[in-house]
Structure 1
Amino acid sequence: MKGKGAYGKLGVVAATVSPSGALAKEKKRAILEATLAVLRERGLSGLKMEEVARRAEVGKGTIYLYFRDKKDLLKALVEERTWAFYREVEEEVRRKAPFFLRLEALLQKRLAWIDEWRGLWAAVAREAMEDPTPWLKGLHEHYLHLLEELIRSGQEEGAVRPELSPRPTAAVIAALGCSPQLETEAYMEHLLLVLRKGVAP
């Protein structure tokens, strides 16, 4: 009987902890999404914790249960959105589809991610920490590794010239798919044309 009682108690504890964890995760996500929404509308100078709390539908004090201060919140936002983007990239890289279809889908996701931040990413990163360069470099390194994997698979497929080194080619694609000066669809079309055909006559 004692064993059953102990098991019963453990069962109650487990049932209580699990929803709490899910609720905490939901609240944290809501706070991060609200932070990005406020940043996009009002910029970094207009980011107020009161407004974030209102958008996330939580009390202002709740924010500090998850983040030490504004810098910690911004750092978490950059990491959360960047890794979410990288997970999408990884899915495209490893999808069973021709190289240029995967490349196009990947670049479209990249441009959508850039549009989501609307030029705020670097400014937010600088606000999050005094010297964000090593941190941002580490984040970008993962993106380059995924692009290298894509290039190698394209070479195996015969869609990418075998003499191209994957690392520099990945860096070039990362740089090109960065800041469109044209309307997005026209930019994508022209970028893929350049990548397919090159610029030599």
Structure 2
Amino acid sequence: MSPRSMSKDEKRAEILDAAIRVFARTGFHATKIEDVAREARVAKGTIYLYFDRREDILDAAFVRFADGVLTQMRAIAKAREPALSRLRSIVEAMLAGAQSGPDLARLVFDFWAARRIGGSGERPGTPVDFAGIYVEYRQLIGSLLEQAKDEGAVRADVPEDTPAVIVGLVEGLLLQCLVDPGALTPSRMAEPALAVILDGLAPGAPH
């Protein structure tokens, strides 16, 4: 039986998988297009059929990671559970995602380092809606906090920027886990993070 031919989307995904593995092993800046082609077992020219530049591959890796996190967050936000339980699950999912896909998670921080952030928050020519991704993170968390207020599960005067603080806390923990994996793991960080978040949001917590 002859091998099944791949669609363009499947081939692009295969090349992206190979690039993620190489970037995770050697780092984005040390990786050349030839290295990606060798890992994907294709000619160098084939890479350019799908990605114009090495940076475009990194952008695509970030989009895959962010889409995966957002898909989980949307599903959790729609669950029929108390809002605070859903918030807890979202924080756990964000941390667990890094542990289940460490290569992809590690690339997120290469993405941050490689970007040339300008006044608009975007690198010229990038297809990534960087700000929009974080807007949705904050909106999902903010909606759960509003629901939790209505349920009496959190204090009524939760500061408006609390969703940004929660996202920042989780991503800061992920960074520490990635640079010092021998001492810290995302799964261990979930409970301390939730204790800080939930204790501070509890009704009657000091302002």
Normalising by structure 2, we get a TM-score of 0.72
Q: 1:123 aligns with which of 110, 125, 132?
A: 110
Instruction: State the match for 1:88 in structure 2.
Output: 72
Instruction: State the match for 1:154 in structure 2.
Output: 148
Amino acid at match of 1:150: L
Deviation at 1:114, TM superposition (A): 4.5
Q: Max radius of gyration: which structure?
A: 1
**CA contact 2:76–2:86 (8 Å) conserved in 1:** yes
**CA contact 2:62–2:107 (8 Å) conserved in 1:** no
Task: Quote the Cα distance in structure 2 between the aligned partners of 1:154 and 1:34.
Answer: 42
Task: Quote the Cα distance in structure 2 between the aligned partners of 1:42 and 1:57.
Answer: 18
Amino acid at match of 1:191: A
Task: Quote the Cα distance in structure 2 between the aligned partners of 1:141 and 1:96.
Answer: 24
Normalising by structure 1, we get a TM-score of 0.74
Count of residues in Structure 1 that have an aligned counterpart in Structure 2 = 179
Deviation at 1:178, TM superposition (A): 1.9
Instruction: State the match for 1:194 in structure 2.
Output: 196
CA 1:169–1:186: 2 relative to 1, 3 Å = same
Map of 1:14-163 to 2, 5 A cutoff?
Answer: 23-114=7-98, 116=102, 117=104, 119-127=106-114, 129-131=115-117, 134-135=121-122, 136-163=130-157
Task: Quote the Cα distance in structure 1 between the aligned partners of 2:40 and 2:96.
Answer: 23
Task: Quote the Cα distance in structure 1 between the aligned partners of 2:164 and 2:45.
Answer: 43
Question: How much is the aligned-residue C-alpha RMSD, in angstroms?
Answer: 2.7
Deviation at 1:175, TM superposition (A): 1.7
Deviation at 1:188, TM superposition (A): 1.3
CA 1:65–1:148: 2 relative to 1, 3 Å = same
Deviation at 1:42, TM superposition (A): 0.9
Any gaps of 5 or more consecutive residues in structure 2? Answer: 123-129, 177-183
Any gaps of 5 or more consecutive residues in structure 1? Answer: 1-18
Task: Quote the Cα distance in structure 2 between the aligned partners of 1:144 and 1:44.
Answer: 28
